[in-house]
Amino acid sequence: MSSRPDPQDNLAIVAKLLEQLPAARPQLVVLPEAFSCFGAGDRAQLAMAEPYKDGEVQKQLAALAKKHEVYLVGGTLPVDAGERFSAASILFGPDGAILNRYDKIHLFDVDVADNTKEYRESKWTQPGSKVVTTETDFGVVGMAVCYDLRFPELFRALRQAGSQIIVLPSAFTQVTGKAHWHALVRARAIEQQVFIVAPGQVGEHANGRETFGHSIIVSPWGEILAEQELDEGVVSVSVDVADIEPIRKQMPVAQQNQFEVVQKT
């Protein structure tokens, strides 16, 4: 997606894209980070923040998940605002019910040589702290968001919690995406022997921010199974999580790892 500042504009695009889904079920659909509002700045997201399980964007996502009978990851959207909002990635079931919520842990406080130059996500966003997985009809889904990709400890914790598929809604900058996106997504998939579904924002947005796109689905062997490089659209692939087991059996890295994950609380 190349999201706009207005949530209703973006929800209309989501509804249109969902009409292009393959017929196979069960199906997991993942939207990019900040899909509901992008290009208006974090202050605008704070103003649009909804109570968890009680907001117009969440209601419309629930209705779309139910209509198409899919598991739907609502990228991220702002919820629970006080002085700062939570960047929540919400998983809806095929009946429209909310199954789980992951709040982005690692916030993008960096300097980048692009039009925006300085990113300080923590000014407006409250970081999460919980590792989140959900049992679904096709396997265990773990949840991460964008900048989390640079912290392999989270992905290891998701693997240890049973993840077979990890979803990664993202909005990588053009500069950092060109340099690191494919390498990092493939590395996390290879390290943890999981499928990764990584949709990204794409193009130049209303505030001049440029995002990299290149939405990809990667196998546990690190193969890019499908990719939407530029423009808005649907990218999909049919997989069987049973394909993970031979890889994990032949190369039992989880059992051989000599280092423990220490999670900061």
Q: Is 104 a catalytic residue?
A: yes
- Which of the following is catalytic: 37, 50, 121, 146? 146
Q: Is 56 a catalytic residue?
A: no
Instruction: Confirm whether 200 is domain-assigned.
Output: yes
Instruction: Confirm whether 265 is domain-assigned.
Output: no
Count of the separate structural domains present in the chain: 1
Domain that holds residue 242: 7-254
Instruction: Confirm whether 263 is domain-assigned.
Output: no
pLDDT band, residue 166 (cuts 50/70/90): very high
User: Which pTM was predicted?
Assistant: 0.95
Q: Under a CB-based contact definition with an 8 Å cutoff, are residues 73 and 169 in contact?
A: yes
Distance CA 69, CA 28 (A): 10
Residue 94: is the preceding peptide bond cis (ω within 30°)? Answer: no
- pLDDT digits 0-9 by tens, 83-130: 999 999 999 999 999 999 999 999 999 998 887 788 899 999 999 999
- Which of the following is catalytic: 50, 104, 121, 210? 104
- pLDDT digits 0-9 by tens, 32-87: 999 999 988 788 889 999 999 999 999 999 999 999 999 999 999 999 988 999 99
- Which of the following is catalytic: 33, 50, 121, 210? 33
Instruction: Confirm whether 58 is domain-assigned.
Output: yes
Q: Is 33 a catalytic residue?
A: yes
Q: What is the CATH number of the domain that holds 120?
A: 3.60.110.10
Distance CA 65, CA 243 (A): 27
Instruction: Confirm whether 152 is domain-assigned.
Output: yes
Instruction: State the Cα torsion 254-255-256-260 to the nearest 10°.
Output: 70
Instruction: Confirm whether 232 is domain-assigned.
Output: yes
Instruction: Confirm whether 25 is domain-assigned.
Output: yes
Instruction: Confirm whether 1 is domain-assigned.
Output: no
Residue 62's φ and ψ, nearest 5 degrees, are: -60, -40
Distance CA 80, CA 37 (A): 16
Report whether pLDDT(265) > 60.
no
Phi-psi region of 231 (alpha: psi -120 to 50; beta: other; left: phi over 0): left
